[in-house]
């Protein structure tokens, strides 16, 4: 593997997409759909949001034209990559009644081989987190695993941060450190537009070989470093994560939960846009004859009343308890369950909350009620 | 899509249906493929009614007989009603076993107190069978059982059988009674003061409605038991039983993975938090 | 009849009188007698004057109330070492429920008028007894509240 940064020129990006397609990958990257950046199948750079950026804040998101031709000049949109590895709806099996009761119908599927173009560092961390959820325990999600093992990841190091970003606080960005095949830093100068490239795997090395590239010069490397530094300094939000798990464990009965419940609509947007949320429900259905049955798995949300239903009623009837469940799971119980926070600081839950509830604000409010911060503000 | 192996049920034929109470049935199941299902007392299976859905139900039979799965089901929702309505020779789906067991092995050499409320006796019955099958390995054996009324006592004839053994102490109580009931009336926690065990060298297995377990734990602690001597079985919504769906989260645990049987001191911090 | 000395010794074994000053135990013993009831025998009836209370030494007692249409309903059963009856302590000194021996019962019976008289003249005795009965009353109230929850009806 090349340990030194490499450089490819702007137009080599199209070649990269082409090489990946030729290697049998379904290439997924940023597109513009319904006034947002949405990851979808792309055939070339012309499908990408060239020259667009996004302006984000609590409860607000809009696209804006840039003054340059950046390919990756925005941060993250409402969708994350999880919809490809962990599909929103999945048929788990089909069965048919027979003499022995029922029989599971054999199904074979060629697992899709995806190449993800433009994975941000926070999103890479979200994938690492879901790896632990779906592949790190006694049981393994076979669909996730088969897709995950095949993906080719082209990471992009953010050059700018969004208004709701806080990856620096969560120690998940803005620069991708590992887990990618190739990582790009886009550098747009008055005279020149190029990418520095880090190679993260043998596969990445093989793909790079197909592109015109050369070793990065000192000034190109420092230009890339400048972009990362710029993004770090622009973080729209911060969250003090020092002792955060215990802070929340100590405050299950904090009055702030009532306060947030007065604003929360229980719409579940935060869970849908979150790149690590993994809850699902299972639905068993039959056809009209009753001879065929199938089981479907769908994304679910802890914000629904039914989520906690056991005979006799739902255990989390109040909006307060449901928001608390979500936030303490992300930031506290997740750590006990999976050895990592469930939050990567991507800011989606803040941007896509219709009433602008801000997880960093909620943490701050609880922390300050205990008499200021513990340790350094990160 | 391919099949998602951990979520695929196996066909089991209903060999026997016993009506235990007005709304509670015990089903004896045998694998259509003939393969045994080895499990430990306290574990549960996901039972599937074809096309209707799946529910988590603890094993309630004898774990030394892995070819015969026994489940005691209370018909309270569409799936449990469909399962309870399964006739002899019909087929249900089974996935499992899942969850943590009652620590029967840890209780060897100790006195054992089994405390159940309502249908909570069903998940404890495999532990009772295990202990009685190797009775000499344990000290005193006490079974405390509370139910709503005399007509709601589960496994009544077995309870009388166990009570008639010279090496067990079985105390029953009901919350209210009319007619000819000659037994105890009062909540199950009132039975604790009368038990004769070596409190410092015993384990308690507790299963019933959460609020019943709460009051029972208060009484057990009053009686001198430590929190790490008490094991209890928790209940939450379950959809997948393999730690993926998130529905059974209880504080930092998924009941299907880290539970359903917990040692009380390990969950005490979260036990009485409202709507957790 | 047992001697007052023997009765004092018996009382000291009862949980109700644990750690009680000897002087007070002796005062109580002066109001106490041994009694027994056959299985099925009524110990007291609803509405009657509450003239005594009991410390059960052996046997089981049911507290019942007659519900028209349902017959006798048992509210609670009491056993060895339990105290039976507190209506003697609180005006108007009438039983609210009925107590029936489920098995043969031996108990120590305390004469309510005798004890109330001693409590009035000896407030230390009165306070000790009130403390101990309050504890029993609160425990029974808490248990009753749990019964009201009807926990097995829902889950």
**CA C93 to mean position of chain CA atoms:** 13
pLDDT score recorded for residue A377: 45
Q: Examine the pLDDT at A205 and tell me if it is beyond 70.
A: yes
* 8 Å CB contact of B1 and A310: no
* 8 Å CB contact of B185 and C74: yes
Per-residue tokens: C9: 């010794």
CA gap C51, A253 in Å, rounded: 50
pLDDT score recorded for residue A2: 56
A282-292 confidence digits (pLDDT tens): 999 999 898 99
Set of chain C residues whose Cβ sits within 8 Å of the Cβ of A310: 155
Task: Look at residues A372, A349, A371 and name the one whose alpha carbon lies nearest to residue A301.
Answer: A349
Q: Among B21, B119, B190, pick the best mutation site for testing chain C contact (most C Cβ within 10 A).
A: B190
A301-318 confidence digits (pLDDT tens): 999 999 999 887 899 999
pLDDT score recorded for residue A112: 86
CA gap A94, A287 in Å, rounded: 11
Residue A290: CB atoms within 10 Å: 10
Set of chain C residues whose Cβ sits within 8 Å of the Cβ of B216: none
Residue A310 near chain C (CB below 8 Å): yes
pLDDT score recorded for residue A1: 56
Set of chain B residues whose Cβ sits within 8 Å of the Cβ of A139: 6, 242-244
Residues 181-240 of B with CB under 8 A from C: 181-187, 189-190, 194, 208-212, 215, 235
Per-residue tokens: B162: 């166990």
Q: Which domains does chain B possess?
A: 5-98 (2.40.30.10), 105-233 (3.40.50.80)
CA gap C15, C57 in Å, rounded: 11
CA gap B53, A103 in Å, rounded: 16
**CA C46 to mean position of chain CA atoms:** 15
- Tokens 């046997």 correspond to C59
Per-residue pLDDT band at B2 (split at 50, 70, 90): low
**The dihedral of CA B227, B230, B231, B237: what is its sign?**
negative
* 8 Å CB contact of C146 and B176: no
Closest residue in B to A297 (Cα–Cα)? B245
B116-159 confidence digits (pLDDT tens): 999 999 999 999 999 999 999 999 999 999 999 999 999 999 99
B211-247 confidence digits (pLDDT tens): 999 999 999 999 999 999 999 999 999 999 999 999 9
Per-residue pLDDT band at A107 (split at 50, 70, 90): confident
**The dihedral of CA A222, A225, A227, A233: what is its sign?**
negative
SS3 state of residue A377: coil
Q: How many domains does chain C have?
A: 1
Q: Whole domain around residue C87: which residue ranges?
A: 4-154
pLDDT score recorded for residue A378: 43
SS3 state of residue A222: helix
ipTM above 0.90, yes or no: yes
pLDDT score recorded for residue C46: 95
CA gap B8, A294 in Å, rounded: 10
pLDDT score recorded for residue A225: 97
**Domain of residue C10, CATH code:** 2.60.120.10
Cβ contacts of A371 within 8 Å, gap of 6 or more: none
E strands, C52-146, in order:
52-58, 61-67, 71-78, 83-84, 98-101, 105-111
Q: Examine the pLDDT at B276 and tell me if it is beyond 90.
A: yes
Q: Examine the pLDDT at A372 and tell me if it is beyond 60.
A: no
pLDDT score recorded for residue B4: 86
Element at A97 (helix H, strand E): strand A89-98
Find the mean pLDDT for residues B24-50: 96
Where does residue B96 rank: exposed (0-12), middle (13-18), buried (19+ CB within 10 A)?
Answer: buried
Q: Which chains share 3+ C-beta pairs under 8 angstroms with B?
A: A, C
Set of chain A residues whose Cβ sits within 8 Å of the Cβ of B253: 336-337
Please provide the average confidence, as pLDDT, over all residues in chain A: 95
Per-residue pLDDT band at A255 (split at 50, 70, 90): very high
Set of chain C residues whose Cβ sits within 8 Å of the Cβ of A309: none
pLDDT score recorded for residue A376: 47
pLDDT score recorded for residue C95: 96
Find the mean pLDDT for residues A204-220: 97
**Among B100-109, C13-22, C94-103, which stretch is predicted with the lowest mean pLDDT?**
C13-22
pLDDT score recorded for residue C155: 46
> DSSP assignment, residue B51?
T
Residues 144-203 of A with CB under 8 A from B: none
* 8 Å CB contact of B91 and A102: yes
Q: Examine the pLDDT at A360 and tell me if it is beyond 80.
A: yes
**CA B197 to mean position of chain CA atoms:** 22
Find the mean pLDDT for residues B199-216: 97
Find the mean pLDDT for residues A343-362: 98
* Mode of pairing for the β-strands spanning B111-117 and B202-207: parallel
Which residue in the set B118, B177, B189 is minimally distant from C152, CB to CB?
B118
């Amino acid at each position: 593997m090349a340990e030194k940064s490499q450089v490819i020129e702007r137009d080599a990006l199209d070649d990269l997409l082409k090489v990946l397609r030729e290697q049998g990958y379904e290439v997924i990257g940023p597109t513009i759909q319904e006034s947002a950046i949405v990851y979808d199948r792309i055939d070339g750079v012309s499908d990408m949001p060239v020259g667009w950026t996004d302006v984000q804040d609590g409860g607000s998101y809009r696209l804006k034209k840039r003054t340059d031709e950046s390919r990756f000049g925005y941060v993250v949109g409402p969708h994350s990559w999880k919809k490809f590895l962990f599909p929103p709806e999945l048929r788990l099996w089909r069965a048919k009644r027979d003499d022995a009761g029922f029989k599971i119908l054999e199904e074979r599927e060629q697992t899709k081989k995806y190449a993800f173009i433009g994975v941000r560092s926070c999103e890479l961390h979200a994938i690492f987190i879901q790896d632990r959820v779906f592949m790190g325990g006694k049981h393994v999600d076979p669909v996730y695993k088969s897709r995950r093992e095949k993906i080719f990841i082209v990471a992009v190091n953010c050059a700018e941060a969004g208004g709701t970003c806080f990856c620096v606080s969560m120690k998940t960005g803005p620069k991708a450190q590992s887990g990618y095949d190739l990582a790009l830093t886009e550098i747009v100068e008055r005279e020149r537009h190029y990418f520095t490239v880090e190679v993260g795997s043998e596969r990445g090395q093989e793909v790079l070989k197909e592109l015109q590239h050369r070793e990065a010069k000192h000034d190109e490397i420092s230009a890339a470093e400048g972009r990362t530094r710029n993004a770090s300094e622009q973080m729209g939000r911060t969250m003090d994560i020092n002792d955060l798990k215990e802070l929340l464990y100590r405050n299950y009965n904090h009055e702030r939960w009532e306060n947030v419940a007065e604003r929360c609509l229980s719409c579940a947007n935060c869970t849908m846009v979150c790149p690590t949320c993994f809850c699902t429900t299972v639905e068993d259905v039959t056809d009209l004859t009753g001879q065929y049955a199938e089981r479907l798995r769908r994304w679910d949300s802890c914000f629904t009343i039914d989520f906690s239903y056991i005979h006799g009623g739902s255990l989390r009837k109040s909006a307060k308890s449901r928001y608390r469940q979500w936030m303490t799971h992300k930031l506290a119980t997740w750590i006990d369950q999976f050895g990592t926070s469930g939050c990567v600081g991507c800011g989606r839950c803040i941007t896509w909350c219709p009433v602008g509830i801000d997880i960093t604000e909620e943490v701050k409010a609880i922390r300050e009620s205990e008499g200021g911060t513990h340790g350094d503000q990160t | 899509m391919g099949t998602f192996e951990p979520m695929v049920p196996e066909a089991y034929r209903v060999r026997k249906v016993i009506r235990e109470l007005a709304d509670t049935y015990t089903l004896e199941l045998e694998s259509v493929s003939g393969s045994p299902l080895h499990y430990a007392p306290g574990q549960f299976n996901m039972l599937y009614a074809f096309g209707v859905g799946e529910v988590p139900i603890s094993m309630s039979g004898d774990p030394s007989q892995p070819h015969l799965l026994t489940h005691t089901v209370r018909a309270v929702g569409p799936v449990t009603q469909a399962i309870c309505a399964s006739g002899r020779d019909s087929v249900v789906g089974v996935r499992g076993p899942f969850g943590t067991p009652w620590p029967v092995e840890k209780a060897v050499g100790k006195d054992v107190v089994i405390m159940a409320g309502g249908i909570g006796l069903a998940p404890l019955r495999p532990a009772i069978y295990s202990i009685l099958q190797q009775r000499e390995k344990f000290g005193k054996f006490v079974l405390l059982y509370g139910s709503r009324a005399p007509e709601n006592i589960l496994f009544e004839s077995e309870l009388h059988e166990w009570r008639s053994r010279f090496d067990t102490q079985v105390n029953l109580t009901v919350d209210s009674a009319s007619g000819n009931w000659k037994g105890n009336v009062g909540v199950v926690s009132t039975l604790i003061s009368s038990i004769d065990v070596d409190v410092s060298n015993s384990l308690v297995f507790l299963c019933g409605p959460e609020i019943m377990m709460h009051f029972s734990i208060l009484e057990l602690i009053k009686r001198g038991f430590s929190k790490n001597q008490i094991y209890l079985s928790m209940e939450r919504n379950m959809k997948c039983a393999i730690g993926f769906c998130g529905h059974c989260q209880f504080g930092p645990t998924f009941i299907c993975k880290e539970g359903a049987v917990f040692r009380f001191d390990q969950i005490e911090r979260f036990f009485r938090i409202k709507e957790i | 009849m047992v001697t007052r000395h023997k009765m004092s010794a018996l009382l000291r074994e009862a949980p109700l009188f644990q750690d009680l000053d000897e002087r007070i135990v002796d005062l109580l013993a002066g109001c106490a007698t041994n009694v027994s009831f056959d299985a099925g025998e009524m110990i007291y009836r609803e509405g009657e004057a509450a003239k005594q209370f009991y410390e059960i030494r052996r046997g089981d007692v049911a507290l019942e109330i007659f519900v028209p249409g349902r017959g006798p309903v048992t509210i609670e059963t009491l056993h060895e070492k339990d105290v039976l009856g507190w209506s003697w302590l609180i005006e108007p000194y009438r039983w609210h429920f009925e107590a029936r021996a489920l098995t043969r019962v031996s108990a120590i019976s305390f004469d309510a008028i005798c004890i109330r008289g001693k409590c009035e003249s000896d407030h230390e005795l009165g306070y000790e007894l009130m403390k101990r009965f309050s504890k029993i009353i609160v425990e029974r109230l808490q248990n009753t509240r749990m019964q009201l929850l009807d926990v097995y009806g829902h889950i």
